[in-house]
Structure 1
Amino acid sequence: MLPLTERSSPNQTAILSHTEFLLYGFPGVSVSRSLLLIPFLSIYLVILAGNGLIMHRIWAEKTLHSPMYLLIFLLFAVNVSCTSAIVPKLLLGLAFGLNHISLDGCLLQMFVIYITVMTESGALLQMALDRYVAICKPLHYQNIMNNNFLVLLTFISLARSVFLVSPIVILVSRVNFCNSNIISSISCENMALLRIGCGNISRINLIGLLLRIIVSIIDGSLLLVSYVIILSTALKAARGQAFHKALHTCCTHMLVAFLIYLCGLLTSAVYRLDASISVNVQNLVSAIYYLFPAAVNPVIYGLRVKEIRVCLKKSFKIKHMDNGGSSE
């Protein structure tokens, strides 16, 4: 194992590889570096509180144990898992300078991040399917979208994520990290690790690009086509409160999906323009991609989905009454 130094000597680069790294996000910020702890800690607490509250209400309220709300639960669980794989390590580095991470820890973090990102995309596809069946085939909804089918779809989504992510992690684990042991990123992303690798990494870059195409373009196109069909069907049969409610829920899912994919495409574009954009800007864009949708999604669903909004109001009302009764 090499000591924690920024550069290896020229005669070592061909035979030695770093197995421990410094995960050093925002390297250009030095004097007021600890001040970054405040916004990241605040956002993380908002994510835990917002997602956790709605997940708790969906779990506790039996009336919300339908496929649509269980898929929202899955989406929020993925949000919490992804941010929890990134933010605690970042906070430890900002607060106490605990930036050390082993190669195995880095690869594990990469695996969890990419698995959750792809599972999030799969959850969005399942939501689109749920709304398609609800609006385009309402008479068959109960027979098609049952719990067993929902579990099967979730298993397929997870299996797809593992199948597509595992080759990336395996290939990165075989890279010789002889250029540096400093990862100038907020997390062990594929591109961040390849920056400090040496040798031919074109194959890994190509696989990473194909993975981005599969997730962003194919899943995004499927979502777009699905919602075009859904909205077209809903507008043709736009009569009654049920259709208006379904249309409203559809627009909520579309808003969340648009937000997630927009942040993802922005991050991808910033990394592809590596030479013209500073590392700190890239890290900021990555933080927006991983944290902003997870923080905003509970607000969107809490405000736009009536059943969730009613359950939240009822929960706060009960707690308020309990507090008032205990104080008398």
Structure 2
Amino acid sequence: MAVFNLTSSEASTFILTGIPGLEASHVWISIPFSTFYIIGLLGNFTILFVVGREQTLHKPMYLLLCILAFTEISTTTSIMPKALCIFWFNLKGITVGGCLTQMFFLYAGTMMHSAILVTMAFDRYVAICNPLRYTTILTNARVAKLGLVGLIRPVLFVLPLPLLLSRHPFCANRIIPHMYCDHMAVVKMACGDITVSRMYGLVAAFVIIGLDLTLIALSYALIIRAILRISSKNAHQKALNTCTAHLCVMLISYPPFFFSTLTYRFGQGIAPHIHIILANIYLVVPPMVNPIIYGVKTKELREKVGKYTCRR
């Protein structure tokens, strides 16, 4: 690994190394990452465009899908342009302020994503368990309010992360062995007692995500109970199909999050480049796959997308 000597003029600068040990392969590694990023942008912008243009899609379910798409665009864009600059142009420097700002948007977007998945689970619960009251319970105005709450919550819980770190001086070695400003990577460079910063990041992540998973599990427990009360097998199948897309999105979102969070803190035996690659796959693959999942599984959306993409 190259050794970086920081001068006094670089006192407020960090160095992002990219993927330690694989610097010679950065250009090749950039190909799948940039492909995932571009496909994710195209897919999510397509959803925003189609839902915005089609009045028939101005429903709570599609409004939630638009909020999810916007969140995924914001989250991946907070890290990928800088990561590609590292891969392509070897531009590894980032200011302390820029690093803390990137950290805020990254983790706020991640928690916002989780909040949307909770709201989507509630949407599926109402659609299956109270179908006759669906339009009165989940109005567009109510979904917008839930989205606002989902935005305020991560801002309140994530803002202390950069604020706590900004109070610490940073040691001479300002090299971050990562593609972006990961919280724990920056914490390890801080001088002095970092116990509060370290514990706050871990507790906030697991309390918030744990609460979200609990609410999702409760929603699905009620959904399963309602489905089991239905005698018709066709009705069973139809009810389960309405949840398939949401379940798939959760399966590609939550397990990688917990794996990445735990291995960075406790997985000392895992090679750094393996952890960093997996952490970044977790951030770029779901935004690429989620629009495809909803496009394939949601007939109404699929038809509207086809109306624009297959037009002669």
Q: Percent identity?
A: 35
Report if aligned partners of 1:6, 1:181 keep a CA contact under 8 Å in 2. no
Distance 1:30 1:252 in 2: 37
**1:186 aligned onto 2:179:** yes
Of 103-112 and 172-181, more deviation after overlay is shown by 172-181
2:226 matched to which residue of 1? 233
1:239–1:6 CA distance, 2 compared to 1 (3 A): farther
Report if aligned partners of 1:179, 1:197 keep a CA contact under 8 Å in 2. no
Of 279-288 and 307-316, more deviation after overlay is shown by 307-316
How far does residue 81 in structure 1 lie from its aligned partner after superposition?
0.7
Gaps of 5+ in 1: 322-328
Deviation sequence 1:207-240 (CA, Å, 0-9, x none): 1111111232211121112112112213323659
SS of match in other structure, 1:32: helix
How far does residue 54 in structure 1 lie from its aligned partner after superposition?
2.1
How far does residue 273 in structure 1 lie from its aligned partner after superposition?
2.7
Bigger radius of gyration = 1
SS of match in other structure, 1:275: coil
2:207 matched to which residue of 1? 214
Selected match of 2:101 from 101, 108, 119: 108
Q: Report the number of matched residues.
A: 309
TM-score (norm 2): 0.92
TM-score (norm 1): 0.88
How far does residue 316 in structure 1 lie from its aligned partner after superposition?
2.5
1:159 matched to which residue of 2? 152
Of 138-147 and 122-131, more deviation after overlay is shown by 138-147
Distance 1:33 1:124 in 2: 33
Gaps of 5+ in 2: none
**Mapping of 1:122-141 within 5 angstroms?**
122-141=115-134
Report if aligned partners of 2:104, 2:159 keep a CA contact under 8 Å in 1. yes
Distance 2:231 2:299 in 1: 19
**Counterpart code for 2:106:** I
**1:251 aligned onto 2:214:** no
**1:49 aligned onto 2:50:** no
1:139–1:194 CA distance, 2 compared to 1 (3 A): same
Distance 1:77 1:304 in 2: 20
Deviation sequence 1:23-78 (CA, Å, 0-9, x none): 12102113232222222211111111122222221221111111011111111111
Deviation sequence 1:152-202 (CA, Å, 0-9, x none): 111111111111111112101112211411111111111110122221111
How far does residue 100 in structure 1 lie from its aligned partner after superposition?
1.2
**1:31 aligned onto 2:14:** no
**Mapping of 1:239-318 within 5 angstroms?**
239=232, 244-318=237-311
SS of match in other structure, 2:247: helix
Distance 1:5 1:317 in 2: 52
How far does residue 241 in structure 1 lie from its aligned partner after superposition?
7.3
Of 230-239 and 176-185, more deviation after overlay is shown by 230-239
1:61 matched to which residue of 2? 54
Distance 1:273 1:219 in 2: 23
Selected match of 1:202 from 195, 209, 214: 195
1:136–1:176 CA distance, 2 compared to 1 (3 A): same
**Counterpart code for 1:70:** L
Of 309-318 and 96-105, more deviation after overlay is shown by 309-318
How far does residue 277 in structure 1 lie from its aligned partner after superposition?
1.8
SS of match in other structure, 2:159: helix
**Counterpart code for 1:59:** G
How far does residue 285 in structure 1 lie from its aligned partner after superposition?
1.4
Of 103-112 and 188-197, more deviation after overlay is shown by 188-197
Report if aligned partners of 1:51, 1:77 keep a CA contact under 8 Å in 2. yes
**1:80 aligned onto 2:77:** no
Report if aligned partners of 1:20, 1:100 keep a CA contact under 8 Å in 2. yes
SS of match in other structure, 2:213: helix
Distance 1:282 1:169 in 2: 23
**Counterpart code for 2:35:** S
1:246–1:66 CA distance, 2 compared to 1 (3 A): farther
How far does residue 260 in structure 1 lie from its aligned partner after superposition?
0.5
Deviation sequence 1:76-100 (CA, Å, 0-9, x none): 1111110001000010111111111
Selected match of 1:148 from 136, 141, 145: 141
How far does residue 245 in structure 1 lie from its aligned partner after superposition?
4.1
1:324 matched to which residue of 2? none
Distance 2:117 2:160 in 1: 24
RMSD, aligned CA: 2.1
